Amino acid sequence: MTTGYLALVLHAHLPFVRHPESDYVLEEEWLFEAIAETYVPLLQVFEGLKRDGIDFKITMSMTPPLVAMLRDPLLQDRFDNHLSQLEELAELEIEHNAGNGHLRYLAEHYAAHFHQVRNFWERYDRDLVKAFKEHQDTNNLEIITCGATHGYLPLMKMYPEAVWAQIQVACDNYEANFGRPPKGIWLPECAYYEGLERMLADAGLRYFLTDGHGIIYGRPRPSYGSYAPIFTERGVAVFGRDHESSQQVWSSEVGYPGAAEYREFYKDLGWEADYDYIKPYIMPNGQRKNTGIKYHKITGRGLGLGDKQLYDPYWAREKAAEHASNFAFNRERQVEHLHGIMQRPPIIVSPYDAELFGHWWYEGPWFLDYLFRKSWFDQNTYDMTHLADYLRGNPTQQVCRPSQSSWGFRGFHEYWLNDTNAWIYPHLHKAAERMIELGSLEPADELQWRALNQAAREVLLAQSSDWAFIMRTGTMVPYAVRRTRSHLMRFHKLYDEVKEGKVDSGWLEKVEEIDNIFPEINYRVYRSL
């Protein structure tokens, strides 16, 4: 008899990056890489499990920007071209390495992978949202929402209308895409502040996730720590992250992804190959970039890239199976231990960025596949569940007030508010103030109605936590700065034009085409609460 639960939660999110005004923008490839390396491989795992009669359960957030991009015809066309290039390069590599057995084997591995991605992509008419929804309709996958543009909610709490817009626009968008209201929400960056649950309850949401200390430091102190959800006074459930199982997977230092057999992320054909040979497959301006074809393994800690040995998918897959066994074994012991203390079934909630599986950790989808199979066939200590199913079966929990928290560095808000990015917040606050002011207006005509809705889109896009995050990490900083400034500039121009009653229709049309997220938006979501 099972004595506990394991709930895997994957957070699938990318910022809204779409540039119809340019023929090529490198940052659009974030999406293309994630489709080829994470989203399609995950769907292939789900399909294989269903085919083999395994009634798997997993929770996944799909953020509104990601859903919008996956369904966008322009980005679908561009992914198609991106994939064609990869297929062509892999075939060229097979020929190029005819005299080197190991490299040829790896090139054939990539060619087969790209071919599978192509088949899957075309089988679902390029609509991966539809593919994920199929697994939701069989109750294997529970899809939850997020903030409309992944805005960092604790840093906008002085403007409740702005927080409400992030939540309500996300819920409306979810319903438009999945044909039902969302039950749960992944708070952007798992960032919670006291009182937020009131808005979540008003939006009809039943549960959210926070980091473990968001529950552990709750008042009164929860009896079961983060190993049982709590209910807020408004009836919204809170699930806390389990640090032990999380760290085993995401940490490249002490976790599985750092194993010597796994693929080395930072050594890519785009940087290694002869320049004239690789030139057709890198940036149009001639700058090198990652291609996704990587021939080397991690090999060992502390080695330079020049000391890496050739990768072998066979042994990497074996290692993924070994790690899945270890993870399942650890969860069995953890559940037994906790059950002995709690005298009730614990739930271990293990949330991760979805893009870790496949993109950053190439073997991640294999690991998940083995974990589901081993959990289904080889043990009876825990049941794998998704969060909605768990709540249905366990409707009685302790009532507490969670604590302010996030899953970022040191557990609170400093990663998104520090000396690298603090400059953005006075500007974001001013835009929120002005948008709330616009929310009380009634449009004089159709043109003004469009301008008000576009103003709401621009504020939401400027608020994306990804821009502050990128500024802090120090990679692609000019892009994050440019995006923050351009959305704010567009917003203020729209604000001035609406206030003056003179909307530039030609310019508005161009901006609507570039920032076309949330076609169903209604700017009145910003009306004072």
Q: Are residues 487 and 377 in the same domain?
A: no
Q: Are residues 233 and 247 in the same domain?
A: yes
**Residue 130 domain-assigned (yes or no):** no
**What secondary structure letter does DSSP report for 191?**
-
Q: Are residues 188 and 239 in the same domain?
A: yes
Residue pair 413/154 in contact by the 8 Å Cβ criterion: yes
Q: Are residues 514 and 451 in the same domain?
A: yes
**Residue 45 domain-assigned (yes or no):** yes
Distances (CA, A) of 380 to 139, 165, 287, 374: 21, 44, 53, 10
**Residue 436 domain-assigned (yes or no):** yes
Bond prior to 220 in cis (omega within 30° of 0) = yes
- Residue carrying the six token digits 């996958």: 141
**Residue 94 domain-assigned (yes or no):** no
Among 360, 387, 410, the domain-final residue is: 410
Residue 149, C-beta contacts closer than 8 angstroms, at least 6 positions apart: 15, 16, 64, 65, 166, 460, 461, 463, 464, 517
Among 348, 380, 410, the domain-final residue is: 410
Q: Active site residue: 91, 353, 437, 504, which one? A: 353
- Is residue 318 part of the annotated active site? The answer reads no
Domain that holds residue 165: 4-12+39-71+140-255+315-410
Q: Are residues 289 and 215 in the same domain?
A: no
Residue pair 484/459 in contact by the 8 Å Cβ criterion: no
- Residue 478 sits in a domain whose CATH number is 1.20.1430.10
Residue pair 515/493 in contact by the 8 Å Cβ criterion: no
Distances (CA, A) of 326 to 127, 248, 249: 35, 10, 11
Gap between the Cα atoms of 505 and 511, Å rounded = 10
Which pTM was predicted?
Answer: 0.97
**Residue 102 domain-assigned (yes or no):** no
- H helix intervals, 138-280: 160-178, 196-202, 212-216, 243-250, 269-272, 275-278
- Residue carrying the six token digits 């995050």: 469
List the beta bridge partners of residue 62. 12
Residue 157, C-beta contacts closer than 8 angstroms, at least 6 positions apart: 163, 193, 195, 196
Q: Active site residue: 28, 29, 37, 189, which one? A: 189
**Residue 32 domain-assigned (yes or no):** no
Q: Are residues 164 and 45 in the same domain?
A: yes
Q: Are residues 234 and 304 in the same domain?
A: no
Residue 125, C-beta contacts closer than 8 angstroms, at least 6 positions apart: none
**Residue 117 domain-assigned (yes or no):** no
pLDDT in tens, the chain (529 residues): 799 999 999 999 999 999 999 999 999 999 999 999 999 999 999 999 999 999 999 999 999 999 999 999 999 999 999 999 999 999 999 999 999 999 999 999 999 999 999 999 999 999 999 999 999 999 999 999 999 999 999 999 999 999 999 999 999 999 999 999 999 999 999 999 999 999 999 999 999 999 989 999 999 999 999 999 999 999 999 999 999 999 899 876 788 999 999 999 999 999 999 999 999 999 999 999 999 999 999 999 889 999 999 999 999 999 999 999 999 999 999 999 999 999 999 999 999 999 999 999 999 999 999 999 999 999 999 999 999 999 999 999 999 999 998 877 887 888 888 999 999 999 999 999 999 999 999 999 999 999 999 999 999 999 999 999 999 999 899 999 999 999 999 999 999 999 999 999 999 999 999 999 999 999 999 998 7
Element (H, E) at 50: helix 40-51
Q: Are residues 193 and 304 in the same domain?
A: no
- Residue 338 sits in a domain whose CATH number is 3.20.110.10
Element (H, E) at 315: helix 313-342
Six token digits for residue 295? 């021939």
Q: Are residues 303 and 326 in the same domain?
A: no
Residue 377, C-beta contacts closer than 8 angstroms, at least 6 positions apart: none
**What secondary structure letter does DSSP report for 281?**
G
Q: Are residues 306 and 319 in the same domain?
A: no
Gap between the Cα atoms of 297 and 264, Å rounded = 5
**Residue 132 domain-assigned (yes or no):** no
- Is residue 189 part of the annotated active site? The answer reads yes
Q: How many domains does the chain have?
A: 3
Gap between the Cα atoms of 514 and 28, Å rounded = 13
Among 310, 325, 343, the domain-final residue is: 310
Q: Are residues 387 and 426 in the same domain?
A: no
Residue pair 116/44 in contact by the 8 Å Cβ criterion: yes
Q: Are residues 153 and 213 in the same domain?
A: yes
Three-class secondary structure of residue 462 per DSSP = helix
